[in-house]
Structures are given as structure tokens and as C-alpha cells.
Amino acid sequence: MKNTFHVGRRWNIDAWSWSKNADGKNVAHGSRIMRFPKSFDIRSPGYSKSMKHVIEEDWYDVYPYSLVLWPHHFAENFRSGNWWIKRNNYSGLVMELVMEGNVVYECQRKKYVLGAGDLFLTYPGDNLTIRSGRGEHSRELQLCFSGTAVKLLVETLGISECHTIKFPDFRNSGGIASRMRAFIPLLKNKKPEDAPTNSLKGYELLLFLAESFSRMDDPCLPSLLTNAIRAMESCLHTPLSVKGLAAELGICRTTLNRLFRYYLNTTPHTYWKQIRMEHARQLVAAGQFSFKEIAARLGFSSSLYFSTSFRRYIGVSPSVYRKEQAKRNNTV
């Protein structure tokens, strides 16, 4: 019989957390999910109903790559309503990227409110609480790692104390979202010959995170950069002139480009397009304005050009996206 090293375990409901209310009746607080001894999650009542797996792929049993570093679980999760989950003595490494909405993480007596483009890292041994944030729903990408090298790697790469990383360009090709999604076919197909590639991509992703975190040594962005972003947000209805913006800030265009490259890993023009399209996404989903009105508000020359730009950025047309959001709101 072939020997297999189990790098993960599908979670099973082990027990329920109970307490007595004022009337002396037992009240369920949530389901307890075991992974390994002393490593478990407690989930709020109705948690399974509040979460939908848009995509979920697992690849648990591989030898010997799991002894080093093994990305074994990917999921795209849509959550709605009020929910919470407590992770106790987490057994691996998990990265979660917020794509839509807000999610609140509480770890080591600190509270992190994450929005679109924010990544949270849970490390082996962590105890934390995750709960719903503002708004009616949230969407996240999740990638989990196992392996004996996990702790050593996060320490040697200098990210062991980093819980959050911001990715303003998270939707771009080559950005953090596409890097996480690259594991989907590997985990889905589970081809033994792809095991080295899966492990190698795990290393590459951790290196990418370390490089991104290194740009965030100072959590406070320079005032010149924050002033530039505020100026962009106030003129989404007019075409961006990088030269004009730099002159307004009293710096040269080269310096402005360097600030965006160093702190945000993007260009001023690309960043401006991203915040304009994210604003367009909110207006389309809200359903209060026609597409022609939204195009005019955001400075597009025509509703056709707006629709083309929206489809290129979001992946679907404004009308399809609005229908999807309306349907989702009706079913949540």
C-alpha cells in the first residue's frame, strides 16, 4: 500500500458551544470545528447559511512535498448577514483577500477593519476572531498552506509580524488576486506531476508578499502621496493629467511616479483609473442612476465608452452586473 502524508483534514462538526439564558434554557452559541488536537474553530449559529462557496478546491494528500510547503485549499467565499468565527491555535498559514465589502479581524488585542484590496494573514498558532463588517455582504479569496517549513519561511522572509497588507492594484493582471487564483487548476486537477509546481508557486507567492510588505515598513504614507490621492478622488469626472497633478503638489512628474511605484506598486494614472472604476462599480450596484448619468458623473465621453471600460475592468457589462447585484440582494 502506498504511504501518504496527510497535510490537511476536512473539518467536521465536533460539538456545539452552549450556555444557559436567563430562563435556564440551553442556548447554542456556535458549532465547534476540529482540525487537530488543540486546533479548532467556533462558528456562529447559522454560519453555514451565511456563507456560500463560489469556488472551492482542495488537494490534501501528497507526499513528500507537504513536508516543506504545500498550498492545499483555495476558496472564493461570499458571506452575508451577521456572522463570526473564532480560530483557536490555527494549524497552518492562511491568506484572505477582501474583494468586496468589509470584514473585521481581531487578533492580539488589535482590531483590523479590512476593505477591498486588503489581505489578512493568519499564522500557525494564532488565536483570532473574524466577523462581518459594515454592509450587507462581503466576498473574499482564501488560500491555505500546510507544511513544516511554513513557520520558518514567514520568519526568514520577515512577514511573521505582518497581519495586513494593502493591494490597491489587486484586480490587475499579475496582482495578488490573479496570483491566488493561479492555484485553482492545480488543486482541482490534483496531478502528481504538478505537485512540484504547486509547492514552487507557494514559495513564489510568499516572496511576493514579503516584497509587498517591505514597501510598508512605514505604515503612514507620505503626505505628498495622500494629498495626491485626495486630489484624484475629487476629480474623478475629469481626465487625469499626471503632469498637472505633480505641478499642483509642487513636485516633478518623476517624483510623483516614484512615490506611487514605491508605496503602491502602480502608476498614478493606473491608480486613478482603479478608484474611478471602483466608484463606478458602487454606482452601478446601487441602481439609483442610469448608465448614461454614471458615465457623465465620471467623465466618460459616452455611455458606450463607459460600458466598454466597465466590462474590461469588472468582466461583465454594467447591465449584467446590476442584475447580478439585484438578484444577490434579493436572495441574501
Delimit the CATH 1.10.10.60 region(s) of the chain. 223-331
Q: Can you give the pLDDT at residue 8?
A: 38
Delimit the CATH 2.60.120.10 region(s) of the chain. 12-214
Q: Does the predicted model carry a pTM greater than 0.75?
A: no
Q: How far apart are CA 219 and CA 300, in angstroms?
A: 34
pLDDT digits (tens, 9 = 90+) for 113-146: 888 999 999 998 999 999 998 777 899 999 999 8
Q: Can you give the pLDDT at residue 5?
A: 35
Which positions of the chain have pLDDT values less than 70? 1-37, 62-67, 215-220, 329-332
Q: How far apart are CA 34 and CA 31, in angstroms?
A: 10
- Grid cell locating 98: 477582501
Other CB atoms within 10 A of residue 21 CB:
8
Please give the single-letter amino acid code of residue 332.
Answer: V
Please tell me the CATH superfamily of domain 12-214, with its number: Jelly Rolls (2.60.120.10)
Q: Can you give the pLDDT at residue 123?
A: 92
Q: Can you give the pLDDT at residue 33?
A: 64
- Answer whether the bond into residue 64 is a cis peptide, omega within 30°: yes
Give the number of C-alpha atoms closer than 13 A to the C-alpha of residue 261, restricted to the C-beta side.
6
Please give the single-letter amino acid code of residue 17.
Answer: S
Helices (H), the chain: 47-50, 150-156, 176-181, 184-189, 195-214, 223-233, 242-249, 253-264, 268-286, 291-297, 303-314, 318-331
In 3-state terms, the chain is what percent helix, strand and coil (to 5)? Answer: 40, 30, 35
Q: 225 near 263, Cβ under 8 Å?
A: yes
Cα Rg for the chain, rounded, in angstroms?
Answer: 22
Q: In this structure, which topology does domain 223-331 adopt according to CATH?
A: Arc Repressor Mutant, subunit A (1.10.10)
Question: Coil, strand or helix: which one is 332?
Answer: coil
Which residues are paired to 139 by β-bridges?
78, 100
Q: Can you give the pLDDT at residue 65?
A: 59
Q: Can you give the pLDDT at residue 155?
A: 86
